[in-house]
Each structure stands twice: as structure tokens, then as C-alpha cells.
Amino acid sequence: MSRYFKLVNFELNRFIKIYLVLAGVIILSQIAGVILQANSYLRMASEIINVEMLSRSEFINQYGTMSFYQITQSIWFDGPIALSIVSLLIYVFFIWYRDWLGKNTFVYRLLMLPTARINIYLSKATVIFLMVLGLIALQLVLLPIEINLLKWMVPLDFRTDMSIYEILMTNYMTILIPLTITEFIINYGTGLMVVFIVFTAILFERSYRWKGILFGLIYGAFAVVLFFMPMILQSTILYEFFYPLELLALHFVTGLIVMGLSVWVGNFLLNKKIRI
């Protein structure tokens, strides 16, 4: 067990630089986005008010107030989130392939550690999961700061305040930051399951190389079908047989089965089939 934690720590350290850069980009870009957009709105407001001789309320009537909604719609806000998502998706693959690449094949060392090889798998998955949660936490800390920054920059008359809850409700962020614990478990449980499926597919490729790509794809397809089996049954032979809550519970079960299966197959491949 202690070697699992050491591996998690080690894997975290290997990605920490890029990770901190990502966090930095999110912070800088989103803060800059708030400042730039607030400024451009205020500049526009003062120009229009001066040039067209409108009163404040006429301006607000015609052009609307500034709210955090505009902020979240901009590339300054979405861009770094998309960048982080893409980076972490790539890292799901790179976290394995980096051990094989280059002159220095670190995978020798990893496979010769005096610990169950599945710990390598689990520690890598843990690190991906922790990194996702870390960025989510960062976003949650950042939102109130950004909200207050906007309040501080834009006078009360010109803005419509939104709570964090309202902000999360208005766009895709409700997927990333679910509002209920059930949704959280569904979204992140599914995410973790996908990471496991991909990891096992990668190990198929690493074990059988070219043929392994095929095996990996077949495994991935099989796992996805298995996971959605209740829904597939529901819409085919068992027409509307389950209540929605039952369906959810069944997906929970198939999800756990897929995760368990992925870990089991991954363990088998690491112990019996892997090649350096």
C-alpha cells in the first residue's frame, strides 16, 4: 500500500510542472478576460452615452447590462478550460507512453518495482483523477474572485449579478461542476470508468503492439456496450421495462463491473503479457 502512495506522489511530481502551467493559464486568462471584457463594456458604455447623448438607463435598456454570463461566453474563459481538458485527455495516453518513449525507458524500472504491478495502473489513474479534481477546485475558488472583480470594476447600475449557482446552471459547466452529489458521482464515476477502459486498451496495445490496437478497440467497444447494456435492453427487447431510477442503478452496477473488469484485465496484461 505504501508503495502505491509513493507511486502516486511520484507520478504527480512528473506532471506537476505542466500542471502548474495549466493552472497558471487558467488563472491569468480568466482574470484577464474579466478585466478586458469589463473594460471594453465600460468603454463602449461611456462612448455611446457621450456620443449618442443617452442617459444611463436608456443605455442599459438598449444595450443591456454586463453580467458574468458574457464572461463565461468568451474564449478567455472557455479557452483555458478547453486547453486543460485537451491536455488531460492527451495525458491519459502520455502517462503510459512516456515510460516507453526515448532512450531512457523508465518502464523497466516501473515493472521491476517490488510491488504488485496493478499499483502502477492504479496510481496513474489516481493521478489523472486528482488532477481533474484539482482543476475543478481551482475553478471553484476562482469564480468568486472573478465575480468580485467584476463587481469592483463595473458600477452597480450597469451590471446584473449572478450567483455561482446561476453561473453553473447557464452553461456546460454543470457537467464539469455538478450541482448535486448524485450528478457528481455519475459524471466523475463515468469519467473514471472511461479512464480505466482507455488504460486497459493502452495496455493491450503495449502488450501486442499492432495487433493490440485492434484488441484495445474491441475491448473498448465491448466495455462501452456492457456499460450501456441496461439502456440498450430498455430500448429494444425490454421496451420501457425499467423506471428511470432503476435504470440509473443498473448503470451504476454495469459501470462498476466495467471498472472491475478493466482493472482485472489490466492486471493480467501487466503481469503476463506486457513487453518492454
Partner 1 sequence: MIEVKELTKKFGSKTVLNGISFTADKGQITCLIGINGVGKTTILNAIMALTPINSGEILIDGEKIHKESYEKITFIPDATIMLPQMRISEAMQFMADFYDCWNQKRADEILQFFRLKENDRISELSKGNTAKVNLLLGLAMDVDYLLMDEPFSGIDIFSREQIANVFSSHLVEDRGVIITTHEINDIEHLIDKVVLLDNGVVTKEFNTEEIRENEGKSVVDVMREVYQG
Specify the residue, 114 or 244, whose C-beta has the smaller distance to partner 1: 114
CB of 67 to partner 1, least distance (A): 46
Strand boundaries in the chain, DSSP class E: 66-67, 159-160
Nearest distance from C-beta of residue 91 to partner 1, angstroms: 16
Question: Nearest Cα to 20, choosing from 142, 125, 134, 126?
Answer: 134
Phi-psi region of 240 (alpha: psi -120 to 50; beta: other; left: phi over 0): left
Q: How far apart are CA 98 and CA 95, in angstroms?
A: 6
**Shortest distance (Å) from residue 109 CB to partner 1:** 5
Termini Cα distance of the chain = 25
- Nearest CA-CA partner of 194 in 93, 110, 118, 275: 93
Nearer of residues 94 and 188 to partner 1, judged by Cβ: 94
Cβ closer to partner 1: 86 or 101?
Answer: 101
CB of 127 to partner 1, least distance (A): 15
Strands 159-160 and 66-67, bridge-based pairing: parallel
Q: Which is nearer to partner 1, 106 or 222 (CB)?
A: 106
Q: How far apart are CA 96 and CA 85, in angstroms?
A: 18
Smallest separation, CB 200 to partner 1 (Å)? 17
**Binding residues for partner 1 (CB under 8 A):** 3, 6, 10, 14, 102-109, 111-117, 207, 271-276
Contact 66, 41 (CB under 8 A): yes
Kindly tell me which of 7 and 167 has the beta carbon lying closer to partner 1.
Answer: 7
Closer residue to partner 1 (CB): 210 or 239: 210
Q: How far is the CB of 273 from partner 1 (least distance, A)?
A: 5
Nearest residue (CB) to partner 1, 84 versus 126: 126
Task: For cell 435598456, name the residue.
Answer: 61
Shortest Å, Cβ 5 to partner 1 = 11
Task: Report the C-alpha gap between 64 and 58 in whole angstroms.
Answer: 9
Grouping H, G, I as helix, E, B as strand and the rest as coil, residue 265 is: helix
Enclosing H/E stretch for 56: helix 56-63
